[in-house]
Amino acid sequence: MNYASIRTCDIANGEGVRVSLFVSGCTHRCKGCFNPDQWDFAYGKPFDAGTEAEIFAALDKGFISGLTILGGEPMEPENQRALVPFLRRMRRRFGDARNLWVYTGCVLETELEADSHWRTEVTDEFLSMVDVLVDGPFVESLKDISLRFRGSSNQRIIDMAARRRGLAS
Ligand code: SF4
């Protein structure tokens, strides 16, 4: 997996001050996408051990609330497979002290939870580590700049942790 950039002090993509990772590769091709360079899976730099160390060092800072992964499309099958081992190590190191937000152009129930080409052998594990999922494609006709943390009104901010508690009860 390649990534486009890392922000170590981001307040635009989730609650609190966050570290943000913009991964490369997206096949949604939403009209009006703000990051079309990142549709290309070869864009940017390889995500390697040095990248992981850089992210962990940024997450170590006491004022950081957590990590946001966006792109590009984190839920592209090949990106899921690259991100899950990294997220396991992040959870081992930080436990629940840092939360995880993920932005996806997929719709949770119909594309990530139901049978579709987005689902892989690691999708459920990936979703089990996400605290907040911002889902759905960017729809230019529904663009609304007053919305917090999302670009168009079809997109949802889903509290995955609360959802898991609801499913468990
Ligand atoms: S899902 Fe995101 S990165 Fe992909 S085309 Fe849509 S807006 Fe752009």
Q: Where are the domains of the chain?
A: 2-168
CATH, range 2-168: 3.20.20.70
Tokens, residue 63? 């004022």
pTM for this structure?
0.96
Binding-site residues, ligand 1, Cβ < 6 A: 26, 28-30, 33, 35, 38, 71-73, 105, 137-138
Ligand 1 center–CA 26 separation, angstroms: 6
Contact 104, 30 (CB under 8 A): no
**Count helices and strands in the chain by DSSP H and E runs:** 4, 7
pLDDT by residue for the chain (169 residues), tens only, comes to 999 999 999 999 999 999 999 999 999 999 999 899 999 999 999 999 999 999 999 999 999 999 999 999 999 999 999 999 999 999 999 999 999 999 999 999 999 999 999 999 999 999 999 999 999 999 999 999 999 999 999 999 999 999 998 876 6
